[in-house]
Structure 1
Amino acid sequence: MAEAIVWKVYEYSSWIMKMIYLNLLWIIFSLAGLVVFGFFPATQAMFAVTRRWILGEKEIPVFKTFWQAYKAGFVQVNIIGYVLTILGVILYIDLKFFQQSEHLLFSVLAFFIIFAMFIFFAMILYIFPMYVHYKFKTLEYLRKAFVIVLGKPLNTIMMIVGSYLLYVFISMMPVLLLFASGSLVSLVLMWIAMRSFPKYDVKVSGV
């Protein structure tokens, strides 16, 4: 009995250390790319690691897996990330413009922009899990994410609710922000996303 308890403590401690290590890699490699060029590749590399864990590959070399994914996706994921950034800025500017007008038509348009932003946010939650799970052409990821958001509404709600609960949990325990915020979020979102993905023919291999 005592041996089983010790083993469980060791197992949980090992997982906590892996989560902390992965989170530190995410921060370091985001900074290594001056954040502007490092954040998106580091984030998808983090998701690449958590994807392997969810698939049952618990003993993978974390640094090697992270580094390979970071290098392989550096250019493509930055393009995807900044396309999304530009779209987000456009939606935000449109919303502010329509909200400043008292005209009924603009009020209706503001409502549609808010709905579009909701869909857009859900797409962002799917992008990184989809990127590390499938191999598509660059802009095809955006279309596939859009299809999943609309085609799997219950899973999409789970993604949004899950991200909100994680936000609340992390805000209650600020220490997680430095030590496990990114890795914890990626693990949860990857787990939910993999239950939403259709079985496309083309999948990522070796990542």
Structure 2
Amino acid sequence: MMVLEGIVWKLYDISSWIMKMMYLNLLWIVFSLLGLVVFGFFPATSAMFAVTRKWVLGEKEIPVFQTFWQAYKSGFIQMNIIGFVITIIGAILYLDLRFFQASEHVLLSFLAFFIIFALFIFFAVVLYIFPIYVHYKFNTFEYIKKSIIIVIGKPLNAIMMIVGSYLLYVVFSMIPFLTLFASGSIASLVLMWIAMRSFPRYEVKVSGV
């Protein structure tokens, strides 16, 4: 009887976590759309990371909507500025890559490899932006600076972030259900867990969310 009761509680915990992940993913989608995607994606994504950060820290029973909404509205302007900056940088790197790849000049074609390397660094920096934003309290552009410092200073962790993202992409490609209902929340939970391993343990949390 005790074994059966344990199984029932375990199934309840699993189903409860599934519902939480789906609910958080729904909030991410809805609030991204409320900002017409262009203005909603970055603050909604940072709000999602604010929730998963608390889960990673062991705060399992937090009010999900309240935590999400507080992070969304408090970071709306700042995250849109950060998002605008990294979007411009990413676009420039991509256009440079296409230009160098299309060039018939040997030297310019060779430079394409450096741009590819820069894009990997850029991708890792972007992955770190959201965990850093919800974990620290900086001036707007210091988040980008901190992300670059961590990526360069802890390359193995940066590689873990990139590899983790790729593995998640593979899993989501194989299981469309996850892509539709929990891709964002699962990805943020995994990336937040990896990112927390990159933050010095002596640094006290100063984020207000």
Is TM-score (shorter-chain normalized) higher than 0.5?
yes
1:42/1:70 contact within 8 Å kept: yes
Instruction: Determine helix, strand or coil for the equivalent of 2:60.
Output: coil
Q: Distance in 1 between matches of 2:76 and 2:144?
A: 17
Is 2:111 the counterpart of 1:109?
Answer: yes
- Per the alignment, do residues 202 and 72 of structure 1 end up closer, same or farther by CA in structure 2, a change over 3 Å counting? farther
* Other-structure match for 1:94: 96
The one-letter amino acid paired with 2:174 is: M
RMSD: 1.2
1:46/1:66 contact within 8 Å kept: yes
1:80/1:138 contact within 8 Å kept: yes
Query: Where does structure 2 lack aligned partners over 5 or more consecutive residues?
Result: none
* Other-structure match for 2:10: 8
Instruction: Determine helix, strand or coil for the equivalent of 2:12.
Output: helix
Q: Distance in 2 between matches of 1:193 and 1:107?
A: 34
Q: Number of aligned pairs?
A: 207
Is 2:31 the counterpart of 1:37?
Answer: no
* Alpha-carbon offset, residue 79 of structure 1: 0.4
* Other-structure match for 1:170: 172
Could you tell me the TM-score, scaled by structure 2's length?
0.96
Q: Identity rate of aligned residues, in percent?
A: 77
* Other-structure match for 2:185: 183
- Show structure 1 runs of 4+ deviating over 6 A: none
Instruction: Determine helix, strand or coil for the equivalent of 1:158.
Output: helix
Q: Distance in 1 between matches of 2:60 and 2:203?
A: 25
The one-letter amino acid paired with 2:84 is: Y
Match of 2:133 among 128, 131, 144: 131
- Per the alignment, do residues 89 and 205 of structure 1 end up closer, same or farther by CA in structure 2, a change over 3 Å counting? closer
Could you tell me the TM-score, scaled by structure 1's length?
0.97
Q: Distance in 1 between matches of 2:154 and 2:202?
A: 15
* Alpha-carbon offset, residue 204 of structure 1: 3.2
* Alpha-carbon offset, residue 67 of structure 1: 0.2
* Alpha-carbon offset, residue 176 of structure 1: 1.1
The one-letter amino acid paired with 1:178 is: L
Query: Where does structure 1 lack aligned partners over 5 or more consecutive residues?
Result: none
Deviating more after overlay: 130-139 vs 105-114: 105-114
Write the deviation string for residues 162-195 of structure 1: whole angstroms up to 9, x where unpaired.
Answer: 1100000011011111210000000000000000
2:50/2:71 contact within 8 Å kept: yes
